[in-house]
Structure 1
């Protein structure tokens, strides 16, 4: 019998063989926060802590079959979407999700790897906009991703554009901005901006965006209101980064065993 007290959080993302980002990062975060992680693989990758060498998207029909299988079996409490890799995958995910009851959906729009490798293919951003954005409860781009998704430079204008495209709320993270502290800003229609600042940690981290998005999704699945979930997710992510390990030659890996 399914334990209804353990919320199912579905991660739709790529596989990182080094375990720093993607599905494994999501599974660790979801489990640490008291959720039951379910997963749908969108891409296989060749990558390490330095950079991504190759992305191999899964056949879109296989993504569809994975997703339908889980949604017909589990009562999913929240969904986190990460690396998509292909426009057809984004479109199929949107079509499947429209056939099922809506649950909180957190989108981490992975557009490039930390080492600079491009993570999108032709038409992917357009497919995300038309097929996924209207279903998204919260999108969590960093400032560079927000500018790329909208063509705007001012971050408030970026958020306005994303909200106008059907997204319920926008959290723009400020790691890539030149400021003494990291300032993350939550934008919602008709409400003031909620800005939270965090001490800037030295170095760079592999899977920080995955950790943040999956943490917020899990906290939402536990029934926490959005504003509180966003604050708690940021705190948990900062703690994981602050206790990160350095198993490889490149970026540090967040310690997600919270």
Structure 2
């Protein structure tokens, strides 16, 4: 079959998400694909685990066999021009090692790691023994990691921040993780009027602020934000632009979340609040 002419077409920004599947559709691979698509890129995926999950929580996790994770990654990297990779849920040390080895092998231009350890519901999604493997094998390869406050505490051994001053006190420890940049998300400080994040570089940091939205429908916010950032990086934005646009996107998706009526627990954000237009 003859391929269509590509003379007048622009390269398609392709983003790979490596993460777990959420059977409820609100987080994980499903949220990633929605966010990448809604922000104007093409999404491909490699599934690391299958969760039995809904808006009320996670009831079971089945890690994908290592050989098949390898096969998925070889399949997409060998054929698709993947510019950015977003990594989410990695259930154990061996999966982390496989993913890190493939990132080193194929060398995508951008890597965003959402160190998924604790779901919004409080369920533990990463074995505690795997945290050190994550820190030594994968995080040093990342252009950006996007921990929430419990994840930041788990990565650094610091106490869980209860205010913005505590977030600031965590900056030094986060810089010691040997990553290029950290987006520390302050969404768990629910008593604050704004939802403030810290974009932390080795030599400076910036405060990113947005009005806090009063909604219970926040399932998949971390997955969605990190995927949107990877999408904007793939489109040629620099890191600060990609993070700023990603925060604007997730803020709007949360603001429109109550337009959806999904499940009886923490519902998903509204990924397609603007149709398929680039945000």
- Given candidates 244, 268, 271, the residue that maps to 1:231 is 244
CA distance in structure 2 between the aligned counterparts of 1:159 and 1:214, rounded to whole angstroms: 23
**Residue 195, structure 1, aligned to residue 207, structure 2:** yes
Asked if the contact 1:53–1:117 (Cα under 8 Å) also holds between the matched residues in 2, the reply is no
Distance across 2 between alignment mates of 1:68 and 1:138 = 23
Structure 1 residue 174 and structure 2 residue 201: aligned?
no
| Secondary structure at 1:248 match in 2 | coil
Work out whether residues 83 and 108 of structure 2, in 8 Å CA contact, stay in contact via their aligned partners in 1: no
Partner of 2:264: 249
Task: State the 1:5 CA deviation.
Answer: 2.1
Structure 1 length-normalised TM = 0.95
Give the secondary structure class of the aligned counterpart of 1:229.
Answer: helix
Q: C-alpha displacement at 1:159, in angstroms?
A: 3.5
Q: What is the TM-score of this pair, normalised by structure 2? A: 0.88
Answer yes or no: is 1:23 the counterpart of 2:10.
no
What's the CA shift for 1:148? 1.2
8 A Cα contact 2:86 2:113, kept in partner = yes
What is the match of residue 207 of structure 1?
A: 220
Greater shift, 122-131 or 222-231, is seen at 122-131
Deviations 1:149-193 (A, max 9, x none): 1112343453333332221100011111242211111000112x2
Which runs of 5 or more structure 2 residues have no equivalent in the other structure? 160-165, 275-279
Q: Which residue of 1 aligns with 2:102?
A: 96
The answer as to 2:171 corresponding to 1:155 is: no
Q: Report the counterpart of residue 135 of structure 2 in structure 1.
A: 129
Change (3 A) 1:99 1:157: farther
How many residues are paired up? 257
Deviations 1:29-82 (A, max 9, x none): 111111110100000010100111111110112111111111111111100011
Other-structure match for 1:46: 52
Gaps of 5+ in 1: none
Equivalent residues of 1:30, 1:215 under 8 A apart: yes
